[in-house]
Amino acid sequence: MITRRITSLHVTQSFIVMTYHDLQDKKWYTSKLSIEALEEKYRKITARPVYLSLKRFFIRLLNWEYWPFNVIYGPILFYWFWLSFKSRSIFFFNTASPLIKNGGFVTESKWLIYELMPRQYCPLTLLF
């Protein structure tokens, strides 16, 4: 693998200079931006209309991918505690894979799992 392009930034209090060097074509490109122009552009971006903020809010509200971790998995904890109480074991699901440490829930070793499998079903792997 060889380096084909190099990009660098030089930042001062009054401007930003970006230099792009294409090593294959042996060309240099330079772009200069003043800090004042950047601040003016940022001021325009932050002064968004209210409907854009509402649109962003409803997109985040209706798509669960944006929800916090606790909102999604919090209700599951109550069910987990209920099943743990019924089975008298916090890690009751370990019995699904009894030969794997912690049932494969946490701190499992892929290498040890492969050691449990017959050789014809194991993928070719290297351990470093």
How does pLDDT run along the chain (128 residues), one tens digit per residue?
678 888 998 888 888 888 988 888 888 888 888 877 767 766 665 556 777 778 888 998 899 888 888 888 888 888 888 888 888 887 777 777 777 776 667 777 777 777 888 888 887 777 77
Label residue 16 exposed, middle or buried (CB < 10 Å: 0-12, 13-18, 19+).
Answer: middle
The long-range contacts involving 56-60, CB below 8 angstroms and separated by at least 24 positions, are: none
Q: How far is CA 88 from the centre of its chain?
A: 36
CA gap 55, 53 in Å, rounded: 5
Q: Dihedral, CA atoms, 56, 58, 63, 69, nearest 10 degrees?
A: 80
